Structure 1
Amino acid sequence: MPKITYVAPDDSARTLDVPLGTSVMRGAVSNDVDGIVAQCGGNAQCATCHVYVDEETRDKPAAMRANEDEMLDFTACPRRPNSRLSCQLKVTEELDGLIVHLPERQQ
C-alpha cells in the first residue's frame, strides 16, 4: 500500500498506508486526520479537502482537471502553485511517498 504523509500546520506529521484506488482525502478521513473536512464527500464541489503538495513530491500526482482547478479558487486558505484537492488525488503506486501539507483552515 502506498504511504502518504499528512503534515499539519504545526508541522506534526502522520504517515499512513492508503489503499490503491482510493483518494488522499479518503485516506485522511478514514484515519481521523484533522484538517480535512471533505464536506462534499469527494466530488470536487466544496474545496474543504485542500492540501499543499510538498515541493519534494510535487511531480507525483497526475495533472489536475479543469473542475479541480476552478474549485481551488474557492479555498479558505490562499491558493498556491502546489495547491490540490485531496479528493482528486487518486492513490496509485506512483503516489507512494507523497507528502501533503494541510492548510490552517478549510472553511
Structure 2
Amino acid sequence: MENVQNKSMCLGKLERCYKTIQQFKIRVDSYLYEPKTVALFETKTYLKNKILKLSDANEKLLNYMRSSKELVPEQYKLVNHHIRETFELEFDFLEYTMRFRQPV
C-alpha cells in the first residue's frame, strides 16, 4: 500500500510541476520580459530551452508513471530530480524577472 501512496504523491507533484512549467512557458514570452540587452536575450534563450527540456521530461515521466503499476526506486529518484530542476527553473526565472523591475 505504501507504493500506491508514494506513486499518488509523485503523480501529484509531477502535475504541479507541469502547471508551473506551463506558467513559465507563457510568462517567458510575455512582452513584460522582452530583453533589451544581449545578456538578457541569452538568459531568455537559456530559460526557454530549459523550459522546453523540463516540459518534455515532465510529460514523459507523467506518461510512464500513469502506465506503470508500481513505483520503483529509480522512478522515485527521477521524480525528485525533476522536482529539483523545476525549483531551479523557478529561481532562475525569478532572477530574470527581477532585472525588469524599476528601481523605487
Same fold (TM over 0.5): no
Q: TM-score, normalised by structure 2?
A: 0.29
Q: Give the structure with higher Rg (CA).
A: 2
TM-score (norm 1): 0.28
Normalized per residue, which structure has more strand? 1
**Greater share of helix:** 2
